[in-house]
Amino acid sequence: MGENEAVGAARPTIDAPFGRALTRLGHERPEIVGLTADLGKYTDILPFRDAFPERFFNIGMAEQNLVAVAAGLARTGLVPFATTYGVFASRRAFDFVAIALAHSNLNVKIIAGLPGLTTGYGGTHQAIEDLALMRMIPGLTIIDPCDAIEIEAATEAIAAYHGPVYMRLLRGAVPAVFDPGYRFEIGKARQLREGKDVGIISTGFMTERALDAAEILAKEVASVAVLHVPTIKPFDAEAVAAFAAGVDRVVTAENHVAVGGLASLVVETLFDAGIARKVTRIGLPDRYIECGAVPTLQARYGLTTEAVVASIAELT
C-alpha cells in the first residue's frame, strides 16, 4: 500500500506530509486530538499517535461513530482530526457529517484517504464522487490538495480555521510539486501559469498533470494557463470567472467524476457570470471503475499528463 499514488513526472517526494504537519501542530496546540477508524497506518496519522498517544483514539471500523465521537470531542473544545478513507467518510457517514458536524458547525477535520482513482481496489475504495456528495453539505469546507507542500500548508490552515472540513489526503511518499514557499489559503484559487489559448482549471493532483501538460503543449501546440483550485468549497468563483474570461477555451481537470465536482462548479460559475466558453471536462466517467494497478487505471481513465496533453491537442 506504500506505492506512490500521485503517479506523475519524477519529482522529489515527502513522506507522510499530513502526519508530519499534524504532529508539528500537536506540539503547539494541546487541544488537537487524532482519531481514526482502523486506518491509522493507511492515513499517515501514526506519527501523531506516537507523539501523543493519550490524544489519539482508534474507534475501530465504525465510521459513523468516528464522526459522532469527533463531534462530541469538538463540543468539549478539542480540535479533532479524524482519518478514514473518502468512500467511508462520504458515502457511509454522510448523515453524521451533515447533521452531527456541519449542522452545528463543529470544529472537526475529516481527512479522507484514497481520493478518486488512487487505489486499484475498485469501486468499494475509490472515492470518485466524494467532492460531489460533500459539496452539498452546507457550511462544510472541502479541500483537494495537489502535493506534499500543499497538504502540509492546508493542514496548518484548517487547524487554524474554526469549522468542519473535509480534506482529501495523498498519503505515503507524496510528490513535492510546489515550491516550499507556496502559500495556501482556504477558499483561494491560485494561477500557476500564464497562457492565452487554453486555460486549465484543476484541483488535487490533476494540477500536477496540468502543469506538466502545459509545459509540453507550450513548445508548439498552444499557450496554456493553469488555475489551481484546491478549495472546492467555498469555491473561488471570482478567480475562476476572471481566469476563464482571459482564455479562449476552458478545460477542467479533476481526480473525480466529471459531474458534480470541479467541472460542474466551473460550468455553474461561468454560466452565472455570463461568460460564454466551451468547457472540456477531464475527469472520471459516470460509472464504477474496475480493479487494477493505479498507473494502468489512471492511464485508462485519462488522469495522466499524456491524457491531458491529448485532450487539449484535440481542441487546437
Q: How many chain residues are in contact with other proteins, going by CB under 8 A?
A: 28
- Sheet containing 231-233: which strands, arranged edge to edge? 56-58, 32-36, 79-85, 109-113, 165-168, 141-143, 231-233
Cα–Cα distance for residue pair 305/21, rounded to 1 Å:
28
| Helices (runs of H) and strands (runs of E) counted in the chain | 12, 14
Which residues, in sequence order, are bridge partners of residue 173? 15
Q: Which of 4, 13, 64, 191 binds other proteins (CB under 8 A)?
A: 64
According to the binding rule CB under 8 A, does residue 133 interact with other proteins? no
According to the binding rule CB under 8 A, does residue 39 interact with other proteins? no
Residue numbers 82-121 binding other proteins by CB under 8 A: 95-96, 99-100, 103-104
Residue numbers 4-33 binding other proteins by CB under 8 A: 33
Residue 295 is which amino acid? P
According to the binding rule CB under 8 A, does residue 69 interact with other proteins? yes
Per-residue DSSP letters for 101-149? IGGGT---EEEEESBSS--SS-TTT-BSSHHHHHTTSTT-EEE---SHH
Q: Which of 70, 169, 217, 266 binds other proteins (CB under 8 A)?
A: 70
* Residue ranges in the chain assigned as alpha helix (H): 17-28, 46-51, 63-75, 86-87, 94-95, 130-134, 148-160, 206-218, 237-245, 262-273, 294-300, 305-315
Of the two residues 69 and 210, which places its CB atom closer to other proteins in the complex? 69
Cα–Cα distance for residue pair 209/304, rounded to 1 Å:
6
Shortest Å, Cβ 269 to other proteins: 32
> By CB under 8 A, which span of 55-63, 116-124, 176-184, 234-242 interacts with other proteins?
55-63
Count Cβ atoms below 10 Å from residue 68 Cβ, excluding itself.
Answer: 17
Q: Which of 14, 46, 51, 78 binds other proteins (CB under 8 A)?
A: 78
Residue numbers 172-231 binding other proteins by CB under 8 A: none
> By CB under 8 A, which span of 58-66, 118-126, 168-176, 260-268 interacts with other proteins?
58-66
Q: Which of 25, 74, 154, 262 binds other proteins (CB under 8 A)?
A: 74
Of the two residues 99 and 273, which places its CB atom closer to other proteins in the complex? 99
Of the two residues 32 and 189, which places its CB atom closer to other proteins in the complex? 32
Shortest Å, Cβ 80 to other proteins: 8
| Cα angle value 5/6/10 (rounded, 5°) | 115
Of the two residues 33 and 226, which places its CB atom closer to other proteins in the complex? 33
214: which residues sit within 8 A by CB, 6+ positions away?
193, 195, 200, 224, 225, 226
According to the binding rule CB under 8 A, does residue 49 interact with other proteins? no
According to the binding rule CB under 8 A, does residue 54 interact with other proteins? yes
Instruction: List interacting residues with other proteins (CB under 8 A).
Output: 33, 54-55, 57, 59-60, 62, 64-65, 67-78, 80, 95-96, 99-100, 103-104
